[in-house]
Structure 1
Amino acid sequence: MEGGEGLPLQDVVAQLERLADVRGAESWDNVGLLVEPFTPTVVKTILLTNDLTQPVMTEAIKHDVNLIVSYHPPLFAPIKRIGSASWKERLVAACLENRIAVYSPHTAWDAASGGVTDWLASAFDGHFDPAAVRPIIESNLDVAATPTIVGAGRHLITQQLTLSKCVELVKRRTGLAAVRLSIAIGKAIDSPVTSVGLVPGSGGSILKEVLSTRNSVPDLFVTGEMFHHDILDAAHAGVSVILTNHSDSERGFLADVAEKLRAAFGPNVLVLGSSADRDPLRTV
């Protein structure tokens, strides 16, 4: 599969940052251009993935990819050498050997308007007032200067929904045959849901903050994963929980990004979605 004529790496990165300003990322995160080959890079083919794993790396090399956009940063904890001792060292070495750049947006995409969180929220389209949607945690940046940034999580005021209907909608949006469900104490599968909180990935810490302040506690919380005892706390606080697995609450957004990048780059850059990327957990 041949790529396009190509664009300079810096131009492609600038377009990625127009989609989501990296200043909106969490302070603990590691976002932006994480691997840059020494030789000036012309990007003809981009590969989008949720996680950069060895199967995805093999796929990238096979398709002569110049840039991997990995939602999760493959470099997070510091590494002291680039060799073959660990799988992450091997990935970086392979990127440099094959002149492949790596860009990671992670929580910048989460916080952005029209980003991962809003993609997950769209599971409930038609059942909430878009004008009333607000972030669970507001961005502390100047929104006028960074108009794409909204904040972490979303809180939706919903209508005519039951818990069972919410499960159906989340499964449809994520493409999953099954999700995990915790029904709050005193509630049932047909209980009404008048508000939903959602955070892609791992949202337990944000729900704990909501419960500690008792500010806009939702009937239902949707995220990828949570600790067992945090789920128990939620159940006793009257909050039901839907868990999808961490990356399954995020991965579907990549198709939206692919379309936006194809529209932006036209025939200059071939944009591919990884076929090797998948959540390491399966319900069997």
Structure 2
Amino acid sequence: MKIAELISWFEAWANPAWCESWDNCGWQIEPGVLEAQARVLVCLTPTLAVMEEAIAKSANLIFAHHPLIFNPPKSLCSGDPLAEMARLAFRHNIGIYSAHTNFDQVADGTADVLAQILNLQEVSPLIPTQGNLGYGRVGTLAPSVTLKELLTKIHTRLNPPKLLFSPTADLQQIISKVAVLGGSGASFISAVAKTGAQAYLTSDCKFHQFQESRDKGVILIDAGHYGTERPACDRLVEKFQSLHLDWVELSQKDEDFRQFCP
């Protein structure tokens, strides 16, 4: 399958027109690779480490969740990471494509994958957008579990370096309804509270957002940006593999960008 055909297939599924106004979905760099047979390296964040990996593996497309370019650069100078990515992309004929807020909303995107990992049932969007799609998911657990069991499942299946959650006096509290949103979802705490969900799995939560969550009766669980979105990249690899591409692989050089003291 040619790269142009792959992108057409993807955009028919996750329309880039759904991209938020502040976002930058679609082609980040296209150095003239549309007619090439697709050799795809899928990653969460396009970085120089991922680019070096793509070069080493003779990939011609880096398919990323996070955009390489959020804001128009005022200059591209030697030594600047963005400039180096562009230089290497054109030198080695490697395209960079981003599927961000459109991939967040779509079926089998970041939110759906999180819901499936937790085996949520009767799932619906947390923030509906169009059709049956939207940001985040809310669903039920069958059977219900204790908070301790839910935290153990999240830690085991997402494997975050640290797991933060709201202060609670009862780890034996029964949890039957859960909301999830991969990436930075703490601004949706009020929406979560209105659904009746007892727990909310997301990331990038600040001190006072844990306070807000507690005050609204929602147990806020932060498993990290990487931990909540990386699984969807793995799912994307599976979808691309079903198209019988020349080559596709999940990046091994994706970074969490955070380290924790032992």
Tell me, yes or no, whether TM beats 0.5: yes
Code of the residue aligned with 1:176 in structure 2: it is P
The Cα of 1:39 is off from its aligned counterpart by 6.2
1:53-110: CA deviation from partner (whole Å, max 9, x where unpaired): 1111111111111100011001111112333242122112211221111110011111
Counterpart position of 2:185: 203
For residue 134 of structure 2, the aligned residue among 151, 163, 166 is 151
Counterpart position of 1:273: 250
Find the aligned partners of 2:96 and 2:173 in 1 and give their Cα distance.
45
Q: Note if 1:193 corresponds to 2:175.
A: yes
Counterpart position of 1:170: 154
Find the aligned partners of 1:276 and 1:28 in 2 and give their Cα distance.
27
Task: Count residues in correspondence.
Answer: 260
Find the aligned partners of 1:115 and 1:251 in 2 and give their Cα distance.
11
Q: Map residues 72-221 of structure 1 onto 2, 5 A cutoff.
A: 72-125=66-119, 128-129=120-121, 132-139=122-129, 141=130, 143=131, 150-158=133-141, 159-176=143-160, 178-184=162-168, 187-207=169-189, 209-210=190-191, 215-221=194-200
1:48/1:238 CA distance change after superposition, 3 Å: same
1:243/1:29 CA distance change after superposition, 3 Å: same
- On the 8 A contact 1:82/1:93 being kept in 2, the answer is no
Find the aligned partners of 2:20 and 2:38 in 1 and give their Cα distance.
30
Find the aligned partners of 1:40 and 1:193 in 2 and give their Cα distance.
48
- On the 8 A contact 1:201/1:224 being kept in 2, the answer is yes
Code of the residue aligned with 2:50 in structure 1: it is V
Code of the residue aligned with 2:249 in structure 1: it is L
Code of the residue aligned with 2:250 in structure 1: it is G
The Cα of 1:178 is off from its aligned counterpart by 3.9
Counterpart position of 1:30: 24
Counterpart position of 1:146: none
Which stretch of the first structure deviates more once superposed, 76-85 or 196-205?
76-85
Find the aligned partners of 2:89 and 2:118 in 1 and give their Cα distance.
39
The Cα of 1:189 is off from its aligned counterpart by 1.3
Q: Note if 1:263 corresponds to 2:242.
A: yes
Find the aligned partners of 1:282 and 1:121 in 2 and give their Cα distance.
26
The Cα of 1:275 is off from its aligned counterpart by 0.7
1:32/1:39 CA distance change after superposition, 3 Å: closer
Listed as ranges, the gaps of 5+ residues in structure 1 are: 1-6, 144-148
Counterpart position of 2:259: 282
1:259-279: CA deviation from partner (whole Å, max 9, x where unpaired): 111111x1x420011111121
Find the aligned partners of 1:177 and 1:226 in 2 and give their Cα distance.
15
CA RMSD of aligned residues (A): 1.9
- On the 8 A contact 1:84/1:90 being kept in 2, the answer is yes
Report the identity percentage: 25
| Partner secondary structure for residue 242 of structure 2 | helix
Find the aligned partners of 2:15 and 2:171 in 1 and give their Cα distance.
39
The Cα of 1:172 is off from its aligned counterpart by 2.4
